[in-house]
């Protein structure tokens, strides 16, 4: 695999970059593939050589953006140290990430929200990543014996219980308020529950 494994990759990312610039400038509702093409001095038909549809282009944009958010979370999940600590830091970081993006990157967040509504594959991938990270933390806690109550459903259950702190609809509804303390308490409750044999 050379850095340029595919030739068209270059054009592909140029298109994504241009689309992201326009998205940031005008918001998700005004993003037209004709405009993306115009910004690059190419015909819009050519964009369709690289992306099957506007939805696909849009989805990849969101996926790229979400990928950037996932880095810090993956790092925490992979760290050594006691699982309960990591769970709390992981959850708090997730909450903070989402909260920051609502106010700090509103166009992208709106795009993410829109993609989430139509349950696009980019968002599903994001959720799958988060789920996997959570599963790893919980499995570790089980293995070390701190959390005997961990089962195959625990990741799903924990994710559900903390979703009010990261789900776009609810994060936005709370005006991106900092609910870290409430989240910390919920995590403590869950932690205690998982410890019970």
Contact positions toward DNA, by CB under 7 A?
7-8, 11, 29-35, 41-46, 48-49, 52-55
HSE toward the beta carbon, residue 170, CA cutoff 13 A: 11
- The candidate with the shortest Cα–Cα distance to 146, out of 81, 99, 92, 102, is 81
Tell me how far apart the alpha carbons of residues 49 and 46 are, in angstroms, rounded to a whole number. 5
Q: How many residues bind its own copies (CB under 8 A)?
A: 29
**Closest separation between CB of residue 123 and its own copies, Å?**
11
If binding is defined by CB under 8 A, does position 178 make contact with its own copies?
Answer: no
Q: Could you tell which of its own copies, DNA, none binds residue 7, using a CB distance below 5 to 8 A set by kind?
A: DNA
**Closest separation between CB of residue 69 and its own copies, Å?**
21
Q: Between the CA of residue 144 and those of 80, 110, 133, 176, 196, what are the distances in Å?
A: 12, 41, 17, 36, 14
Q: Could you tell which of DNA, its own copies, none binds residue 196, using a CB distance below 5 to 8 A set by kind?
A: its own copies
Rank residues 24 and 129 by Cβ distance to DNA and give the closer one: 24
If binding is defined by CB under 8 A, does position 121 make contact with its own copies?
Answer: no
Q: Could you tell which of DNA, its own copies, none binds residue 194, using a CB distance below 5 to 8 A set by kind?
A: its own copies
**Closest separation between CB of residue 59 and DNA, Å?**
11
Return the residues of window 140-169 that contact its own copies according to CB under 8 A: 149, 153-154, 156-158, 160-165, 167, 169
* Binding interface with its own copies (CB under 8 A): 117, 149, 153-154, 156-158, 160-165, 167, 169-170, 173, 182, 185-186, 188-196
């Amino acid at each position: 695999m050379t850095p340029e494994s595919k030739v068209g990759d270059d054009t592909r990312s140029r298109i994504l970059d241009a689309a992201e610039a326009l998205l940031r400038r005008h918001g998700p509702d005004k993003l037209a593939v004709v405009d993306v093409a115009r910004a690059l001095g190419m015909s819009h038909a050519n964009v369709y050589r690289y992306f099957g549809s506007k939805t696909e282009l849009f989805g990849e944009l969101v996926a790229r953006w979400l990928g950037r958010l996932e880095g810090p979370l993956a790092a925490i999940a992979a760290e050594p140290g006691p699982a309960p600590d990591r769970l709390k830091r992981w959850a708090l970081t997730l909450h903070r990430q989402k909260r920051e993006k609502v106010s700090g990157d509103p166009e992208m967040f709106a795009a993410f929200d829109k993609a989430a509504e139509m349950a696009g594959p980019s968002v599903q991938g994001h959720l799958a990543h988060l789920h996997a990270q959570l599963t790893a933390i919980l499995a570790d806690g089980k293995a070390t014996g701190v959390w005997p109550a961990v089962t195959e459903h625990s990741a799903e259950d924990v994710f559900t219980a903390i979703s009010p702190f990261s789900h776009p609809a609810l994060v936005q509804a709370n005006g991106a308020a900092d609910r870290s303390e409430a989240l910390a308490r919920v995590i403590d409750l869950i932690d205690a529950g998982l410890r019970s044999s």
